[in-house]
Amino acid sequence: MLLAVALAHHHANGQSPRQLPQAPTGLMCQLLAHSELTVITTRHPQFSWIVNDSHRGAKQFAYQILVSSNQGMMQKGTGDAWDSGKVISDQSINVLYSGKPLLANSRYWWATRTWDQQGHVSKYSAPQQFNIGDLQGSPNLTSSRWTRVPGSESMAPENRHPVEQQEIKPLQLIRKAPGHYFADFGRDAFGTLRLELTSDQAGQAVEVRLGEMRGANDTVEQQPGGSVRYLKLDLPLQQGQHVYTLEIPPQKRGVGMPEHLGEVVPFRYCEIINSPSELDATKVKQLAVFTHFDATAATFTSSDATLNDVWELCKYSIKATSFLGIYVDGDRERHPYEADAYINQLGHYCVDREYMMARYSHEYLLEHPTWPTEWIMHSVLIAWADYLYTGNRDSLVQNYDLLKAKTLVALERDDGLISTQTGLATPAVMDAIRLGAKYPVGPNGFRDIVDWPGGERDGYLMQPINTVVNAFHYRALVLMSSIAEAAGKTGDAHQFNQLATRVYRSFNDKLFDTAKGIYRDGEGTDHASLHANMFALDFGLVPKEHLRTVADFIKSRGMACSVYGAQYLLEALYAAGQGDYALQLLTATNDRGWAHMLHDVGSTITLEAWDRKYKPNLDWNHAWGAAPANIIPRLLMGVEPIEPGFKKLRIRPQPGSLKQATIQVPTVRGPVRVAVRQESNGVFHLACHIPANTTAEVHLPTLSNSRIKEGGHPVKEAAGISLLRSEHGRSVLAVGAGDYAFEVH
C-alpha cells in the first residue's frame, strides 16, 4: 500500500487542512535521546528537538527553552536555571545552553515549545532529564568523550556510550527429557542467561550450553568451528527457589565489558541439563546487552521478500553488535577498526536516531588508529558523515588538525599520488597520525589493504602506487576541503580543493588504461580488478566519458569482493545509475549474498565474510557485513542529507525492478517517509513525508515537467513545489516540509 501518511485527503492543490503546531518531540541533549542514562561533563550542553508541525512548508519561527533544577519547577513551567524567552530563530538542533552556571553532580530537566510562521505557539514538550557530572577541568566544547555511564569502567582515557540489558523470552522451549531443555531465542545476541530454578538441596549443578549454531536433534552445536561461539558452564545451585544469572568467564581480548554488566557471549540457543525443576518460557531468559535502540525508528518493506529479509538481518545486526558501547569488528577480536566503524556508523544513522555512539567510536579511533593505509583515511569519511547527519561541527573543530593529518597528504609525491613505500612515512608523520611506533611501515605494520581477507581482492596486484589507496586519498582531500569550510578555515578549504584537483588529474593520467577504458590496480601493472574501478567510480574519479566502460567492467566482475567491499561496490553502482544490477546483488541467493547468511548459514547477525570457505575463522556477528542497512535507505530509496543536519535532504530512489517499496528513515529533524510504486503501464508513483523545518529535492524519473502531477494536479499548479533542474533522466523538484503524492505518466 502506498505510504499511508500521504496523503489521503488533499484539498485543492494537494494541501491538507491547516493544523496548529503540536508539542515538540524527539528531545536530545548532547545528541543523546536518552541523556538520563549518562553523565554529561560539559558546561554548555546542546539541545535538539523535532518541530512537530504537519502543514506544508512548516518552519519554526521561534522557540523557548526552559531548564529547571528539579521536576517540580519544570511542572510549574519555571526555568530556574534558564528561561530563554521567545527566541526568533528556526534553529531546532544543537542549541547551546546559555543559562546560569550548571552545578556539578546535579540533575536537570529541560523542555521546549515552538512558534510557527503564523504566530501559533505549541504546548511545551515532555521534559527530558540530563545529569551533570564532575565539571572540574571540563572543556567548553561538547563531545561524546565527555559523557560517561554511571557505574561503568573506563576505557582509558574516555568512557563509553551507555548500554543496557534486555530480557528476552525463548521463542521455542523444548523439553527433550526429564531435566533436559533446549531453548531458541529467535536471534543471536550478546548476553548471558537467567534461570529460575528450585532445588531440594544445595550443591547440585546444572549444566548450561550456549551457542550460536543449532546442532542436530535440537541441540547446541558443540564444535561450530572458526570463531562461531559455543560455551559450556556448570551452574551450582542453592537450596530452594532462586533466580540465577549465569556468570560468563571474562574474555581476554579487545574491549572489555562495563563492569556493572559483566561478561557476555553471543548466543541464540541454549541447552539446560539436569534441571531439578520444571521450566517454562517465563523461567528461562536471555539477558541481551544493547545500546538503547528504538526498533520503530526505521521501517522498510517492499514487493521482494528476499530484500525484506536482508533489511531485517542488517538492521538487527546494527542493534546486536552495539553491546560494548563502541563499534568493534565482532566477537573474534572485539577491537575497533575505522572501516568497520564507518559502515556501522552509516547503518546506525539509518536504522535509529542515534549519533553519539558513532562519534565516540570515531574519536577513540582518531587517537587509537589501526594499521591499514585506507583505514587511516576512513577517519575523514567518518568525520564528514558525523557532521552531515548531526549538523554539529564541534567534533570537526576539536579534531581539525588531526583530521588534516589523516588525509595522508604528507605522503604525496610531486604529482599528488601517495605511497607508504617511498620513505615519506617518517617517524614524525607516523606520530602525527597517532600510529607512532605501534605499526611501523612494512609487511606487519602500516600497509595497504584494498580488501579483507586478501583472497577477496579479485586478483588485485599490490603496487607502491596503489589505485584503491589513491582513490581514498582523493576522497579524503575532497571531504577535508568541506570540513575546512565548515570549520571556518577558508584558506585550507581552497588548498585542499587544489590538492584534490591535482590528484584527480594524476589519477586519471597515470592509472587509467585508455585502451580498455578501465583503471589498473596501480602504477607499473596492466592488471585491472573490480576494486580499482569500483572505488574510483564511488569516489567521483571517473570522467563522464568513461562512466559506461567502467560501469560495464564492474558489472562483469559480480560480487568479487568481501562484505566490506560490497559497501563501495553498491555505492558505485548507484552512483552510475545501475539500480537494477545493484538490486540483483542485494537479493542474490548464492554464497555471496546476505540471503545466504540468513537462510543457508543460519546466522541472524551478518557474518564477517560471505561464507566460511572464504574465511575459515569468520565470526557470526560482524556489523561491517551489514552494508544494506545504509544502502537501502540512502541509495535504493534515495534518502540522504544534502546540507548538514538534514537542513536540506534528497529523495532520489532507484528501485530497480521493485513493484513497490516503503521506508521510514530517522533523521535529527524527524522521520522521512517515502513510498514508491511502479505500474506495469509505466506510471511511477512517489509519496513522501518531509519533516518540518527542512526542505527537500525530489528526483523523479522524467525530463518532462508536464508529465508530473502532485495530488492529481500538474506540478506547475501544485502548492509549494518548483522545478529546479533536469539531470540524468530525472526532473528535480524543490519541496518544503509536508506530505506529497507524485505521479509520473
Residues of the domain holding 285: 164-291
Whether 255 and 339 share a structural domain: no
Burial class (CB in 10 A: 0-12, 13-18, 19+), 366: buried
Whether 456 and 535 share a structural domain: yes
CA distances from 600 to 309, 318, 587, 612 (A): 13, 21, 14, 12
Among 227-231, 255-259, 325-329, 657-661, which stretch is predicted with the lowest mean pLDDT? Answer: 255-259
Tell me the three-class secondary structure of 543-600, residue by residue.
Answer: CHHHHHHHHHHHHHHCCCCCHHHHHHHHHHHHHCCCHHHHHHHHCCCCCCCHHHHHHH
CATH number at residue 416: 1.50.10.10
**pLDDT of 703 above 90:** no
Give the torsion sign (CA, 245, 247, 253, 254).
positive
Give the torsion sign (CA, 395, 434, 415, 511).
negative
Residue 9 domain-assigned?
Answer: no
Q: Which residues pair with 441 in a beta bridge?
A: 446
CA distance 124 to 379: 39
pLDDT, residue 436, reads 86
Q: 324 and 251 in contact (C-beta within 8 Å)?
A: no
Angle between helices 338-351 and 356-367 in degrees, nearest 10: 170
Task: State the pairing for strand pair 695-700/648-651.
Answer: parallel
Whether 587 and 487 share a structural domain: yes
Residue 83 DSSP SS3: strand
Residue 1 domain-assigned?
Answer: no
Q: Where are the alpha helices (DSSP H) in 487-562?
A: 490-511, 530-538, 547-557
Evaluate the omega torsion of the peptide bond into residue 21 and state whether it is cis, within 30 degrees of 0: no
Residue 649 DSSP SS3: strand
pLDDT digits (tens, 9 = 90+) for 120-142: 999 999 999 999 988 875 443 33
Whether 310 and 325 share a structural domain: yes
**pLDDT of 152 above 60:** no
**pLDDT of 676 above 50:** yes
Give the contacts of 662 (CB within 8 A, at least 6 positions apart): 1, 2, 3, 299, 300, 301, 302, 673, 674, 675, 676
Whether 514 and 532 share a structural domain: yes
CB atoms within 10 A of CB 461: 18
Chosen domain end from 134, 161, 188: 161
pLDDT band at 17 (very low <50, low <70, confident <90, very high): low
pLDDT, residue 437, reads 77
Whether 637 and 696 share a structural domain: no
pLDDT, residue 18, reads 61
pLDDT digits (tens, 9 = 90+) for 508-529: 999 999 999 999 999 999 999 9
pLDDT, residue 717, reads 73
Q: 698 and 651 in contact (C-beta within 8 Å)?
A: yes
DSSP 8-state secondary structure symbol assigned to residue 308? H
Give the contacts of 734 (CB within 8 A, at least 6 positions apart): 695, 696, 697, 721, 722, 723, 724
pLDDT, residue 159, reads 53
Report phi then psi at 478, rounded to 5. Answer: -60, -45
pLDDT digits (tens, 9 = 90+) for 37-73: 888 888 899 999 999 999 999 999 999 999 999 999 9
User: Of 271, 54, 294, whose CA–CA distance to 176 is shortest?
Assistant: 271
Residue 373 domain-assigned?
Answer: yes
Whether 509 and 576 share a structural domain: yes
Q: Do you know the residue count of the chain?
A: 745
Give how many domains the chain has, as a whole number.
4
Whether 514 and 627 share a structural domain: yes
